[in-house]
């Protein structure tokens, strides 16, 4: 039987993304940008050379702005002490991490990295407020892979900031998707060179301190890439809290396939000929959840809570109240009205629909059986009567 992971994905049209809208590479510094191109021997598709040419002057500006930012704010950044508790929202791509992040960002007792902070970490302390106020017109109205609203002030994934600052990241794969994927070891933090690991830790901590300088509150961070890093993150931030969100694995797989296809259309400097999305999804899952299941039982119930997307959609306020109580995140009653208003509005949100071949669904169940069983999903992705308790 043909391996369903090797079958080419169905071509799906991404939502419109204007050519002038920011790409993740626009936030990089010049030296990491040049290193990225050199690692891939400048294998730019002729139709993407223009995009690379446009990115380059931004990286020069970012390098200069970064030096100025450190000159003006370096002492404050070094002296900043992140507030506790820091909160990390983790889970596979397309499992609802963004939805949960946006709900929790309504709590004014906390702050979350914004799009301008994550896409412009080299200069947001200098010009972030100016860009957020006057340059919203260059942002698309919704994300390219789904229908969620975007904007400079909206909560954003901190992995983009780490990449822009030069830390090793699996997201570098998007630049040259026809080449062997790089950075997957940073999904479980296994087999990493000590210098690269030190660079990664230093970059994350610096970004956290930069946010603290600008917004003196506990921080809620969200990134699927942190899922297999919970052990390391709990060591770096001993008081940190973690929220893991699961979702119907068949929906997660199909939606992630669309995600990578869409991101490659927008972010890539190639026109992928053989990206092997399905095998890449399986490989990333093995890394992410190998790391997650390795360390999850080391964190007590007062530090880590597991929830499901379906439970949050069914009763968002009730599920968030349980999360707040379990992790001791503060008085939920103070934020209940904002949560109720936001979730009432979100009920009209239109989610993408996906179809899947039977042989691929069977292969996902075979490879991801631990995930299905731990979070209470049947082989067809439907919920069992009650979510099993974690062992």
Write the burial class of residue 387 (CB in 10 Å: 0-12 exposed, 13-18 middle, 19+ buried). Answer: middle
Are the C-beta atoms of 103 and 153 separated by less than 8 Å? no
Under CATH, which architecture does the 17-375 domain have? 3-Layer(aba) Sandwich (3.40)
Residue 345 has what pLDDT? 67
Residue 353 has what pLDDT? 59
Q: For the chain (length 391 residues), average pLDDT per consecutive 10?
A: 52 57 92 96 95 96 98 97 96 96 95 96 94 75 65 92 96 95 95 95 98 97 98 97 98 96 93 88 98 97 97 95 97 94 68 77 97 97 70 42
Of all helices (H) and strands (E), which one includes residue 244?
strand 241-246
**pTM to 2 decimal places:** 0.91
Round to whole Å and give the CA distance between 290 and 93: 15
Contacts of 17 (CB under 8 A, 6+ apart): 140, 144, 266
Residue 385 has what pLDDT? 65
Are the C-beta atoms of 149 and 139 separated by less than 8 Å? no
The full DSSP string for 59-83 is HHHHHHHHHHHHHHHHHHHHH----
């Amino acid at each position: 039987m043909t391996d369903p992971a090797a079958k080419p994905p169905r071509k799906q049209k991404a939502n419109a993304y204007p050519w002038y809208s920011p790409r993740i590479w626009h936030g990089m510094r010049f030296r990491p940008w040049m290193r990225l191109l050199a690692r891939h021997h400048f294998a730019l598709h002729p139709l993407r050379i223009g995009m690379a040419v446009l990115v380059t002057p931004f990286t020069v500006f970012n390098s200069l702005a970064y030096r100025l930012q450190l000159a003006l704010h370096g002492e404050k950044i070094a002296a900043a002490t992140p507030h506790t508790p820091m909160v990390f929202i983790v889970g596979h791509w397309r499992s609802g991490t963004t939805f949960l992040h946006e709900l929790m960002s309504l709590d004014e007792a906390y702050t979350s990295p914004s799009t301008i902070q994550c896409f412009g970490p080299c200069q947001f302390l200098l010009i972030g407020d100016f860009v957020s106020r006057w340059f919203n017109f260059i942002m698309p109205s919704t994300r390219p892979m789904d229908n969620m609203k975007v904007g400079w002030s909206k909560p954003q994934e901190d992995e983009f900031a780490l990449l822009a600052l030069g830390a090793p990241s699996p997201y570098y794969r998007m630049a040259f998707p026809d080449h062997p994927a790089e950075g997957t070891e940073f999904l479980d933090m296994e087999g990493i060179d000590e210098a690269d690991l030190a660079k990664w830790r230093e970059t994350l901590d610096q970004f956290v301190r930069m946010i603290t300088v600008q917004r003196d509150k506990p921080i809620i961070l969200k990134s699927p890439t942190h899922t297999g890093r919970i052990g390391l993150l709990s060591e770096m931030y001993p008081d940190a809290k973690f929220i893991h969100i699961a979702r119907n694995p068949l929906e997660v797989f199909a939606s992630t396939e669309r995600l990578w296809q869409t991101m490659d259309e927008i972010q890539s400097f190639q026109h992928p000929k053989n990206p092997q999305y399905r095998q890449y999804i399986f490989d990333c899952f093995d890394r992410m959840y190998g790391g997650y299941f390795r360390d999850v039982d080391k964190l007590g119930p007062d530090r880590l809570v597991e929830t499901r997307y379906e439970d949050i959609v069914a009763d968002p306020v009730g599920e968030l109240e349980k999360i707040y109580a379990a992790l001791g995140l503060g008085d939920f009653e103070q934020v209940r009205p904002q949560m109720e208003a936001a979730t009432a509005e979100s009920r009209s949100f239109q989610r993408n629909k996906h179809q899947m071949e039977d042989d691929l669904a069977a292969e996902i169940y075979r490879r991801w059986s631990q995930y299905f069983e731990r979070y209470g999903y049947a082989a067809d992705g439907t919920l069992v009567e009650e979510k099993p308790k974690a062992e």
